[in-house]
Amino acid sequence: MGSMASAVTADLLDSNEELIKSGELRVLDPIFKIYGRKQIFSGPVVTLKVSNENGNAREILETRGEGRVLVIDGGGSKRCALLGGTLTQLAHDMGWAGIVVNGYIRDVSLINNIDIGVRAFGSNPLKPKKFRTGEKNVAVPVAGSLIFPGEWIYADCDGVIVSKNKLTV
């Protein structure tokens, strides 16, 4: 399974307690549901801040993922889904490790058959507008923590943690 299988969130937190005290390592509020076939994923963060639309997500996911994690901050809006099966498949095909959505997704049955990690608050069948007004690579407030581009996300069945730097157990 490779090294990532062993580096689960609990182990990373237990072996990096000083980073928790300093704030360099944070646990996101436990409000995410687990989607996608890859339950454990990690990678450096790319951020996208949107408002009831996801127009820039395609543009980002069309670039080589190289094991990165896209964090889409929709402000937790329940109005529409910010991610669906088409973009999730694109992310997988381009080599992204995962997508964390501060909001909702749709096409859950499709996404659950794609070998990628996805976290979101739940599902909403309404698709988003496509304005392309999102801001890329800005700090985004998600699940009780401010997440910065280039930080590292680690996700497993226990939860999601964010670190200023790549972690080792």
Q: 70: annotated binding-site residue?
A: no
Q: Using CA atoms, how far apart are residues 4 and 120, in angstroms rounded to an integer?
A: 21
Is residue 57 a contact partner of residue 82, using CB atoms and an 8 Å limit? Answer: yes
Q: 107: annotated binding-site residue?
A: yes
Q: 14: annotated binding-site residue?
A: no
Q: 134: annotated binding-site residue?
A: no
Q: 133: annotated binding-site residue?
A: no
Q: 48: annotated binding-site residue?
A: no
Is residue 161 a contact partner of residue 20, using CB atoms and an 8 Å limit? Answer: no
Is residue 138 a contact partner of residue 2, using CB atoms and an 8 Å limit? Answer: no
Tell me how far apart the terminal alpha carbons of the chain are, to the nearest angstrom.
16
Q: Which residues are annotated as a binding site?
A: 84-87, 106-107
Q: Which residues are annotated as a binding site for substrate?
A: 84-87, 106
Q: Which residues are annotated as a binding site for Mg(2+)?
A: 107
